[in-house]
Amino acid sequence: MLVIFTKFFTDPSFLFALKILYYSLYVLIPGVLVFLVCDLWILYRRAQFFNKQTNVLLEIKLPREIFKSPAAMEFCISNMYNTIGEGNWYEKYWKGQVRASFSMEIVSIDGNVHFFIWTRKGFKGQIEANLYSQYPGIEIFEVPDYTLPFNYDPEVNSFWATEFKLSKPDAFPIKTFVDYGLNKDPKEEYKIDPMTPFIEFLGSLPKGNQVWLQIIVRAHKAEDKDPKSGKLVDLKWERDAQAQIDKIIAGAKGEKDGEGKIIPGTGRQLTEVEKDIISALGRSVSKKGFDVGMRLIYTAPKDVFNFSNLAGIIGGITHYNSNLNGFVPTGGSAERFSNTLLVWKKRSEKKRDAERQEMLDAYKRRAYFYRPYKRSAIFILNTEELATIFHLPGAVSTTPTFSRVESRKAEAPSNIPT
């Protein structure tokens, strides 16, 4: 054995390779150092950029009746699409700028349900104008951040948190309000709003329970490199949708022989299901897309916290799932949710507390897309899908703890003397 090792280490080929590696270190080490310095510089400048931003939390109070379909909210979300800030390398790498992100939040505190939008202060006027133009009866207030008074203490609070991901590639859509026929402003008695079960459950939670749903979005843009041309393309969404369509069509054309030619008699017509999938994929990528991070927190004092509430909370999110796509907690599918809880119980308590604190901190900062809070569960939804999971429900949602405007405003009569 010693003879074999001696021959290997004295072999001319090994010695030549070792020599190349030795002299390469004079290039590799400075290169690695330059890379690390540049990376730290970007993190430093980006941190400075975030610290300079002034953010506000807007609460939307609903009127007693809303007759608008979720298409009204789709209009508002579509106007959040903004890629300004990362237009060139100087803005992105030297100044540390990033494109704007927004957080749409549905929150239940002691059973009282609230709708919030978190944004940079510079976008406040634009968001208010868009919402008022579509929902004239609402009221919008700049309010204190409801997350700041809360501090996690494992001796006092029970705390559960998760993030969501899509079960299939991003190009496949979830079930949207169009599938429920809500794009036509139907009468209230005929509405089937997929958000209603979630809102009703949040409104039924007893005092002490808090559920926070956070949907963080930023404009999606092509950031992948084409392996052939090297140009920026959208491999994850637009190109993937076309690839999925081509795959379905190719499967219907028939089997190929060794030369790549279609074998006669193996082709067939597209099925109705395949036609529907192709139509859904085309409709999905025809609208503006947003990068999305979605997380949920449930907390309550130890004597109030009820694990059985998790089934209703998760069920309210997975209610949007279809045969094409859907949401699953990052710990596993909805069907394996009980197994996810078992995994949590097996982890060390200290590690779980650290994870909870990190999740809480990221939630408070509304951070998802950038280090040190960058998450892996980032997916793409279009405006139609986002409006499905975040819109202002009408009277079909009857929970008495909804934060609504008490009275309807009207303009003063024109004949009042001045």
pLDDT tens for each residue of 121-159: 999 999 999 999 999 989 999 999 999 999 999 999 999
Residue 342 half-sphere exposure, CB side, CA atoms within 13 Å? 5
**According to the model, what pLDDT value does residue 320 have?**
92
**According to the model, what pLDDT value does residue 236 have?**
84
Residue with tokens 């004239």: 136
Nearest in space to 63 (alpha carbons), one of 169, 138, 157, 146: 138
The average confidence (pLDDT) of the chain is 85
**According to the model, what pLDDT value does residue 257 have?**
67
**According to the model, what pLDDT value does residue 296 have?**
96
**Average of per-residue pLDDT across 407-414:** 50
Q: What CATH number has the domain spanning 54-220+288-389? A: 3.40.462
Determine the Cα–Cα distance for residues 107 and 89; give it in Å rounded to an integer.
38
Tell me if 366 sits within 8 A of 57, measured CB to CB. Answer: no
**According to the model, what pLDDT value does residue 336 have?**
43
pLDDT tens for each residue of 263-286: 776 778 888 999 999 999 999 999
**Average of per-residue pLDDT across 290-305:** 96
Task: Say which amino acid occupies 205.
Answer: L
Classified as helix, coil or strand, 128 is helix
Lowest mean pLDDT among 76-80, 130-134, 193-197: 193-197
Peptide bond into 372 cis (omega under 30): yes
Nearest in space to 115 (alpha carbons), one of 416, 401, 319, 406: 401
**According to the model, what pLDDT value does residue 397 have?**
55
- Is residue 88 very low, low, confident or very high in pLDDT (cuts 50, 70, 90)? confident
**According to the model, what pLDDT value does residue 252 have?**
83
pTM listed for this prediction: 0.86
Say if residue 337's pLDDT is above 50: no
Looking at per-residue pLDDT, the higher value among 222 and 334 belongs to 222
pLDDT tens for each residue of 97-112: 999 999 999 999 999 9
Beta bridge partners of 105: 116, 214
Tell me if 324 sits within 8 A of 279, measured CB to CB. Answer: no
Residue with tokens 């100044």: 95
377, two tokens: 């569960």
Beta-carbon contacts of 105 under 8 Å, excluding residues fewer than 6 positions away, are 114, 115, 116, 117, 118, 212, 213, 214, 215
Beta bridge partners of 216: 103, 293
pLDDT tens for each residue of 384-403: 999 999 999 875 455 556 66
Classified as helix, coil or strand, 281 is helix
Say if residue 238's pLDDT is above 70: yes
Say if residue 407's pLDDT is above 90: no
- Is residue 409 very low, low, confident or very high in pLDDT (cuts 50, 70, 90)? low
Classified as helix, coil or strand, 159 is strand
Write the CA distances from 118 to 61, 79, 127, 214, 221, integer angstroms: 15, 15, 10, 10, 21
- Is residue 28 very low, low, confident or very high in pLDDT (cuts 50, 70, 90)? confident
Beta-carbon contacts of 314 under 8 Å, excluding residues fewer than 6 positions away, are 162, 329, 334, 337
Residue 29 half-sphere exposure, CB side, CA atoms within 13 Å? 6
Say if residue 262's pLDDT is above 60: yes
Residue 304 half-sphere exposure, CB side, CA atoms within 13 Å? 14
Lowest mean pLDDT among 48-52, 257-261, 309-313, 394-398: 394-398
Residue with tokens 């790549």: 260
Distance of CA 302 to the CA centre of its chain: 29
Lowest mean pLDDT among 215-229, 248-262, 399-413: 399-413
- Is residue 332 very low, low, confident or very high in pLDDT (cuts 50, 70, 90)? very low
